[in-house]
Amino acid sequence: MKNIQILLVLCFLSTSSCNSEKQPEAVDTHEVINPIVKDTSYDSEYVAEIQSVKYVEVRSRIKGHIEKIHVDEGQAVKEGQLLFTLSFMEFEKELQKAHAAHKSAQADLKAAEVELSNVKRLLEKNIVAEGEFEVAKAKVEALRADMEEAAANQEQVALNLSFAHIKAPFNGYVNRIPNKVGSLIADGDMLTSISDNREVFAYFNLSEIDYLNYVSASDKQADKVSLKLANQTLYPHSGKIEMIESEFDHATGNIAFRARFPNPDGLLKHGSNGKVVINKQLTNPLLIPQKSTFEIQDKLYVFVVDKDDTLRQRNIVPRMQLTDFYVVESGLSPNEKIVYEGVENAKDGSKITPVPIDLATAMSQQ
């Protein structure tokens, strides 16, 4: 009986061993794709400062008190419209004095000219010496110079008087008025600023690499740009690049660009910020989805499927990162297959059951 029990145990162990050897190894199924090669475009954004095409700081050109402010902050004004009146009584009195001095100089000159004419007739009759004639002539020249000086002084005082009435240089909107009625204003003090926002400039900077890529682009539509506002919405009107500075900033290595945007609704204001968006074209780049990659120590990898359906971990060098794709610089060719998604569950050297899918179709269904 004991021998029979031992025999049964041996048979059971033998059967279990055979079943274990015959059990097949589990093989994972993965969707695989070929990288795609096709022309594509992408957007680059650059921080921009918005400035009115027409903007001026209105400053006083004389010293005086503000007697009256004829406009309000934010008000639309026309070219030549009166903005401020400074104290001008002093200049009116000075103008009266200058006018009187000019008239006096004219009278003195006229009298000297009459005297010169008389001396000349006497000289012709040999009644007076030639030296007396020269003295009279010099007196006329001196008085003529005095009259010209008086006339220039009168014009200057009149000009100063006109500076007391400060007018708008062009159509626009009045901005902040820091000084109120009665304030003492020195020569050169800013009274307000005026901006015409019907068109605006957007100033932004490009690196040397981006600059070279821009100027070498064959697409002339590259001059057209968009503007993203501070709230991340897209400005409804497109702009155009119209100026590139002639030199790079040595401190930053950047070069400044200027784009012009229409502003019919007055949405954009002088001093605001945004981002200029430039659409760029890529010709026949090699594209793979970002979900097909993984990183190890700041290097990018994919799982390539070889002829035996075995996964091989491979390092690739990306040229740039787009919204959902990487543009591959090197490390992969268009005819190779890679794991589409689920790379976090794949292992180097493991066999899989590949399920080929079309990348373009798969991305359009997302």
How many other C-beta atoms can be found within 10 angstroms of the C-beta atom of residue 206? 21
CA–CA–CA angle 29, 325, 308 (5° rounding)? 30
- Tell me which H or E stretch contains 214: helix 208-216
Contact assessment for residue 222 and residue 280, using Cβ atoms and an 8 Å cutoff: yes
Q: What whole-number distance in Å separates Cα of residue 286 and Cα of residue 35?
A: 6
Does the pTM exceed 0.85?
A: no
CA–CA–CA angle 147, 153, 159 (5° rounding)? 140
Partnered with residue 82 across adjacent β-strands are: 167
Structure token pair of residue 344: 């976090």
Structure token pair of residue 104: 């006096």
Q: What whole-number distance in Å separates Cα of residue 293 and Cα of residue 291?
A: 5
Q: What whole-number distance in Å separates Cα of residue 231 and Cα of residue 233?
A: 6
Burial 256-283, CB ≥16 within 10 A → b, else e: bbbbbbebeeeebebeeebbbbbebeee
> Tell me: the pLDDT tens digits for 95-138?
567 677 777 777 777 887 888 788 778 777 787 788 887 887 88
pLDDT confidence of residue 160: 67
Phi, psi of 202 (to 5 degrees): -120, 115
> Tell me: the pLDDT tens digits for 192-229?
999 998 999 999 999 998 888 788 765 555 689 999 99
* Domains of the chain from N-terminus onward: 43-53+197-281 (2.40.30.170), 88-163 (1.10.287.470), 285-364 (2.40.420.20)
The helix, strand and coil proportions of the chain, stated in percent and rounded to the nearest 5, come to 30, 40, 30
Short-list 225, 190, 233, 359, CA closest to 291: 359
Structure token pair of residue 106: 């004219």
| pLDDT tens digit at each of 366 positions of the chain | 445 555 444 555 555 555 445 455 567 889 999 999 988 888 889 999 999 999 999 998 888 889 899 999 999 999 999 999 988 666 656 656 767 777 777 777 788 788 878 877 877 778 778 888 788 788 878 878 877 887 777 777 666 677 888 999 999 999 999 999 999 989 899 999 999 989 999 999 999 988 887 887 655 556 899 999 999 999 999 999 999 999 999 999 999 999 999 999 989 999 999 999 998 888 889 999 999 999 999 899 999 999 899 999 999 999 888 888 999 999 999 999 999 988 988 899 999 999 999 887 766 655
Partnered with residue 312 across adjacent β-strands are: 304
Q: What whole-number distance in Å separates Cα of residue 100 and Cα of residue 105?
A: 9
Helix (H, G, I), strand (E, B) or coil at 31: strand
Q: What is the DSSP string of 228-262?
A: EETTSPBPSS-EEEEEE-SS--TTT-EEEEEEEEE
Contact assessment for residue 354 and residue 308, using Cβ atoms and an 8 Å cutoff: no
Residue type, 130: E
Phi, psi of 164 (to 5 degrees): -75, -15
Short-list 200, 197, 201, CA closest to 266: 197
Short-list 360, 225, 284, 223, CA closest to 40: 284
Phi, psi of 195 (to 5 degrees): -130, 140
Question: How many CA within 13 A on the CB side of residue 101?
Answer: 18
pLDDT confidence of residue 22: 47
Structure token pair of residue 219: 């697409």
When computed from its CA atoms, the radius of gyration of the chain, rounded to whole angstroms, is 44
Structure token pair of residue 326: 């990487």
